[in-house]
């Protein structure tokens, strides 16, 4: 358990066409750094942990806005580890992603690790223009090596053109009913998803398909597909999502 006091912090990224990043600001546990993208048509920002976070009581907020026509890839330098802290109340991490007309966002952070004794409530909200495109990967590892996970509630809400496209929540750890049963993780300790939203998919409602053991790709009610996967560890999970 860390001895530092709880913190409140807000980081903000604004991307514009032509690779410009007119706003790149972070404080507290979130540092944001411009890094080199493999694809020169994208600008790239890497999230760097400046201190251990999120801890009990922390209030962390990240806002990413893509102006019309921008292309941005967001990664992280390492996994995010939710840890217990001095404050007994849950940590809260709010992520807001706004993608303007004709813009493209690749949201590809490293996994979130829910350490024993921690309690985190994470909310990710995505707001898409009708012609925006999105590639979003989320992955969670429940507990570090040989430990049980903390309490985790992670919700993903995606709105396209003002209408709901996806709204789901995962609760794991102590007091979360059935999270480790056969209908949810079935003994696995890594869970993730890959969401693709692309106007080019409009009208192409393919049937759901298996991508191997523990992974399935399904169309959504819109120009989007969602791949969901469970695996024994983070490496196997990323392999499953990469196959999508």
Question: Are β-strands 91-99 and 8-15 bridged in parallel, bridged antiparallel, or unpaired?
Answer: unpaired
- What is the 8-class DSSP label of residue 18? G
Split at pLDDT 50, 70, 90, the class of 1 is low
pLDDT for 34 equals 96
pLDDT > 60? residue 198: yes
Q: Are 165 and 197 in contact (CB under 8 A)?
A: yes
CA dist., res. 224 & res. 205, Å (int)? 9
Q: Are 45 and 34 in contact (CB under 8 A)?
A: yes
Task: Return the number of other C-beta atoms located less than 10 Å from residue 131's C-beta.
Answer: 15
pLDDT > 60? residue 3: no
The percent of residues in the chain predicted with pLDDT above 90, rounded, is 69
pLDDT > 70? residue 178: yes
pLDDT: is 184 or 195 the higher one? Answer: 195
How buried is 75 (Cβ within 10 angstroms: 0-12 exposed, 13-18 middle, 19+ buried)? middle
Rounded mean pLDDT of 229-236?
93
pLDDT > 60? residue 237: yes
Q: Are 133 and 197 in contact (CB under 8 A)?
A: yes
The percent of residues in the chain predicted with pLDDT above 70, rounded, is 98
The 10s digit of each residue's pLDDT in 77-127 is 999 999 988 778 899 999 999 999 999 999 999 999 999 999 999 999 999
The 10s digit of each residue's pLDDT in 113-161 is 999 999 999 999 999 999 999 999 999 999 988 889 999 999 999 999 9
Q: Are 119 and 87 in contact (CB under 8 A)?
A: no
Q: How far apart are the first and last CA of the chain?
A: 38
pLDDT > 90? residue 202: no
């Amino acid at each position: 358990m860390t001895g530092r006091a709880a913190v409140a912090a807000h980081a903000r990224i604004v991307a514009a066409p032509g690779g410009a990043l007119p706003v790149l600001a972070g404080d507290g546990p979130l540092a944001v750094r411009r890094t080199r993208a493999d694809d020169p048509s994208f600008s790239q920002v890497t999230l760097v942990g400046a201190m251990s976070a999120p801890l009990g009581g922390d209030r962390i907020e990240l806002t990413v806005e893509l102006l019309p026509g921008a292309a941005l890839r967001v990664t992280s330098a390492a996994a995010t580890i939710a840890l217990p802290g001095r404050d007994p109340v849950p940590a809260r991490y709010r992520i807001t992603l706004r993608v303007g007309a004709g813009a493209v966002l690749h949201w590809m952070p490293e996994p979130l690790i829910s350490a024993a004794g921690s309690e985190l409530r994470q909310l990710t909200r995505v707001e898409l223009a009708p012609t925006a495109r999105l590639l979003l990967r989320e992955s969670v590892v429940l507990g570090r090596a040989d430990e049980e996970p903390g309490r985790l509630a992670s919700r993903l809400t995606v709105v396209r053109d003002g209408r709901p496209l996806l709204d789901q929540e995962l609760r794991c750890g102590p007091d979360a009913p059935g999270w480790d049963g056969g209908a949810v993780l079935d003994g696995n300790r890594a869970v993730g998803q890959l969401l693709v939203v692309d106007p080019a998919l409009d009208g192409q409602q393919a049937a759901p398909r298996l991508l191997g053991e523990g992974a399935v790709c399904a169309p959504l009610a819109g120009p989007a597909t969602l791949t969901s996967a469970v695996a024994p560890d983070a490496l196997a999970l990323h392999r499953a999502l990469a196959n999508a």
